[in-house]
Chain A
Amino acid sequence: MIQVLLFARLRDQLGTGAINLTLAAPTTVQAMRLALQQQFTEHADSLAAGQALVAINQSLCNDETMVINSGDEVALFPPMTGG
């Protein structure tokens, strides 16, 4: 099982700050994204690559083939707007 943290607009859209995906680890960013898009079909666009950024263990991940291991901290969020 993979837990995915959600922030900002994405958390509001999906209505929760964390989702437990029934994906066996290890998996990939791509597979995690697809599982979320299938669970939240109405928000598939917001979850697409480029729209939803991924962080693994608090580091930005720009590689859709990156492996997610059991126990990794995974987060999904919109492009950042600080400053």
Chain B
Amino acid sequence: MDDIRVQRDDFSVADEYQQLCQDNRDDGAVVFFVGRVREQNQGDTISRLFLEHYPGMTERALADIVAAARKRWSLGRVRLIHRIGALDIEDQIIFIGVSSGHRQNAFDAAAYIMDFLKSQAPFWKKEILIGPTGETLSERWVDTRSSDTQARQKWDNPATPDSLP
């Protein structure tokens, strides 16, 4: 039911969507999210990204997050891919796909998995910054954003739709 992968290789959204749908007569909703490398961050131009992870702990943390989502919502299939290593601008970083009987569970679970992954799964991004003529200026480790922390904390609030009467 769950397919969780940490890999260097790119992934095909079409293939993943197919896997969420194939021979699946139960689920009327499929929600997926793709995270990509963008060129601008904090006013600087990025040329590349390097994604480091903690082998072993990463896989365990992702499995725990998906299991927590399954406890909270009734879900069909969950597919989660996070890439590591060197990535270029416009490359895909992450895929989260969730199927469920109805749309709200799939929407909420996909957002929940993403929000927890940001702060609970041991990945770290390093950016390579470039100047106006494309010359490499510096490298920097990306800092946690407070908006990411807030996104996770909102799930602590019991007043989410799944718990309303």
Contacts and interface: CB of A to CB of B under 8 A. Distances in A.
B121 A8 contact: no
A79 B142 CA distance: 10
B130 interface: no
A83 B123 contact: yes
Interface stretch (B19-27, B98-106, B112-120): B112-120
Contact of B124 (A58, A59, A82): A82
Contacts of A80: 118-124, 144
A12 B124 CA distance: 13
A77 to B, nearest CB: 6
A60 B117 CA distance: 13
A20 interface: no
Nearest to A13: B141
Interface string B122-139: 111110000000000000
Interface stretch (B9-17, B52-60, B66-74): B52-60
Contacts of A77: 54, 122, 124
Contact of A7 (B61, B114, B124, B125): B124
B28 interface: no
Contacts of B61: 60
B156 interface: no
B35 interface: yes
B82 to A, nearest CB: 6
Given A59-B60, A77-B124, 11 more contacts: A7-B54, A7-B124, A8-B141, A59-B57, A60-B120, A75-B57, A77-B54, A81-B124, A81-B143, A81-B144, A83-B35
Interface of A: 5, 7-9, 12, 55, 58-60, 75, 77-83
The 10 closest A-B pairs by CB, nearest first: A82-B123, A8-B124, A58-B57, A9-B141, A79-B144, A81-B142, A83-B118, A81-B125, A83-B117, A81-B124
Interface of B: 35, 51-54, 56-57, 60-61, 82, 93-94, 114, 117-126, 141-144, 148
